[in-house]
Amino acid sequence: MRLRLRMLALIIASFFRPRLSLVDENVLSLRVLPSDVDVTRLSSDRYLPLMDLGRINILLRARLFWTLVRNRWIPVARVVTMRYRYPLKMFQRFELRTRVLYWDAEWAWTEHRFDRAGRTTAIGIVKVAFIGPEGVVPLEKILAAAGESHVSPPPSELIAELQRVEERLRALQT
């Protein structure tokens, strides 16, 4: 329920905030709510939905969200890796910093940093694609729908290593 309220707040706020490019860093100021905690800390199962909000806010601020809805393009996460460092406690404010690190023809890798008081408390990397009625939507088409044309930065060593890990995991599923 809280996620739906946060999503509604993002949609409304997007009408009053300046446009962002798909490649700009997006910052959300959030607070740990009682429904987000198990006992006194932000529950590990709440990080992924919060990261979804970061990616959705990029789409809203790039004025692309409603294009996705019209075309029935749905963002789907395939790979997620998280690193927790410091706990976020009930009612604490924090910033969620989201940015696109790299993309190829079909997949984008996004970084999500949870920052509080000048330090990163957790970081997540997510591999995302857009799925439409005809299958995976090429990212070039997503960029064009946003009126943007960018060349992806080369994959960092971290992204290359995560791609190798994904290949090993995929082999375990066959």
Span 57-113, pLDDT tens digits: 999 999 998 899 999 999 999 999 999 999 999 999 999 999 999 999 999 999 999
Sign of the Cα torsion 124, 125, 130, 131 reads negative
d(CA 78, CA 33): 27
Q: What DSSP state is assigned to residue 133?
A: T
CATH superfamily membership of 2-173 = Hotdog Thioesterase (3.10.129.10)
Q: What is the pTM of this model?
A: 0.91
pLDDT band at 3 (very low <50, low <70, confident <90, very high): confident
- Is the Cβ–Cβ distance between 73 and 31 less than 8 Å? no
